[in-house]
Amino acid sequence: MFRNQMPRYEILSQDAMATLDAGWRRLISEVGVEFMSEEALRLFREAGQKVVDNTVFFDPEFVLEQVAKAPREFDMQARNPANNVHIGGDAMVFGAVYGPPFVREGAVRRDGTLDDFHRFAKLSQSFAALDSAGGVVCEPNDAPLDSRHLDMIYALQTLTDKIYMGNVVSGENARDTIAMGEILFGGRESIEAKPASISLINCNSPLRWDDRMLDALIEYCKAAQPVVVTPFILMGAMSPVTIPAALVQQITEALSGIALTQLIRPGCPVVFGSFLSNIDMQSGSPTFGTPESGIGLLCTGQIARHFGLPFRTGGGLTSSQVPDAQAGYEALMTLMPTFLAGTNFVMHSAGWLEGGLVAGFEKFVIDAQIVEMLQHEFTPMEIDEASLAYDAHVEVGHGGHFLGAAHTMERFRTCFYRPFLSSSDNYDRWMRNGGKDTAARAADIWKKRLEDYTEPPLDEAIKAQLQEYVARRRRELGD
């Protein structure tokens, strides 16, 4: 997996951090946070926090005590041990887009299907830059609503041998995710020792945790499966328009949720989540890859480190409707800060289009290209005597070229990163090859990847058990 050993780019001064620190302490204690779950409220009440109706008014010191129980870093198991991941420290985990109801394939935009889900899962398996297909890589609208989580988990478990994300629609769906993890990884003990799934718990920002999300969070924490506790903030709508206010709110929401995870099961692995962008104040539309979201992202990394927590931000976000220039520059406007901040868990790393409403096949390839380039860029180079190539200069002299120099011949195969999508063909060659733009070349690539795909081997007995579980649960759910 990729480890980012380059320096972090930090932009908050100590004074700024102190201001934000005072801000969340006031917000969490005086305005408080709503939890739409009796169990959560009971846990907080029993722990001595002031609870009025559904609102918990926190003692900030209590919150920090809970947060301190969470591990700074943890491991996760994939069914192919080569794809195990570490979450925290300098490790970065990349997963595909999560949640789009629609897909785009060339000029066609339509409802996502289970077949699309399968194809995206296979592509996630195929691209080495990705550690995971994520969870809901697109919504399989043609699968029965109550049981489609079973179809998705089964696909993630069988079509990929990488880590996957759990379902969070309800506590029941979380229990299914956990049960299927137990089947795949040899029982409860195995997944409690090393988690088999990680799940996204979104806040209903501002300052409210909803019942279904909390039910799922509670199930996962009981089973020691990590959750990504994520304030969902489009500044201007779900938070004030000023970035510092959004950051204070983000800290308040994330820490309140993380405190709950540690009351449920002290030491349960957890990730400080962030989904932070802004709306267009004229149209109300969400916007992505904006200057404000980039700044927020850089600050978020610094804040998460301040609290000693692994964190999630970033991805290849864009508002663009198609995989065009805007899609390219907006994706990188978020992905570059994602690397600069050293984000530990990166959702939406590939395939995000149209503000997250669309999973794009071509965009998937474009993002995988960008992520792989950045993985190379954020790998420190060695600077030693051999790297100075003095002998090559003596050999080539003034005004010559290095194409045939001994130093070049020794290194030419691996010296530079070679992209799979970007073209540097000269104009004539490019025209002879069909004059294809990046989206057209990306379409060729994902189609070829699917042709070449082979399902990673899985013990037939385990596969049968999973199928049996899915069939039984589907019957129970009435689908």
Total of residues contacting a second copy (CB under 8 A): 124
**Which of these ranges, 79-87, 288-296, 451-459, 460-468, lies near a second copy under the rule CB under 8 A?**
288-296
If you compute the radius of gyration of the chain from its CA atoms, what whole number of angstroms results? 23
**Which of these ranges, 10-18, 80-88, 159-167, 343-351, lies near a second copy under the rule CB under 8 A?**
10-18
Closer to a second copy by CB, 23 or 456: give it: 23
User: Residue 6 CB, nearest distance to a second copy (Å)?
Assistant: 6
- How far from 120 is each of 22, 100, 184, 454, CA to CA, in Å? 44, 12, 21, 14
User: Residue 457 CB, nearest distance to a second copy (Å)?
Assistant: 34
Q: Write out the two tokens for 30.
A: 């005086």
Closer to a second copy by CB, 31 or 450: give it: 31
Question: What's the distance, CA 241 to chain centroid?
Answer: 25
Buried b (16+ CB within 10 A) or exposed e, 235-270: bbebbeeebebbbbbbbbbbbbbbbbbbbbbeebbb
Scan residues 109-148 and list those touching a second copy (CB under 8 A): 109
Q: Which residues contact 319 (CB under 8 A, 6 or more apart)?
A: 285, 286, 287, 288, 289, 326, 330, 354, 355
Q: Which of 52, 82, 189, 387 binds a second copy (CB under 8 A)?
A: 387
- Regarding 52 and contact with a second copy (CB under 8 A), the answer is no
**Which of these ranges, 6-14, 71-79, 211-219, 304-312, lies near a second copy under the rule CB under 8 A?**
6-14
Closer to a second copy by CB, 195 or 328: give it: 328
Closer to a second copy by CB, 279 or 462: give it: 279
**Which of these ranges, 139-147, 157-165, 176-184, 397-405, lies near a second copy under the rule CB under 8 A?**
397-405
By three-state DSSP, how is residue 208 classified? Answer: strand
Closer to a second copy by CB, 424 or 454: give it: 424
Question: Are 133 and 126 within 8 A, CB to CB?
Answer: no
Scan residues 195-254 and list those touching a second copy (CB under 8 A): 204, 206-208, 235-245, 248-249
Q: Which residues contact 335 (CB under 8 A, 6 or more apart)?
A: 314, 315, 316, 349, 367, 370, 371, 374
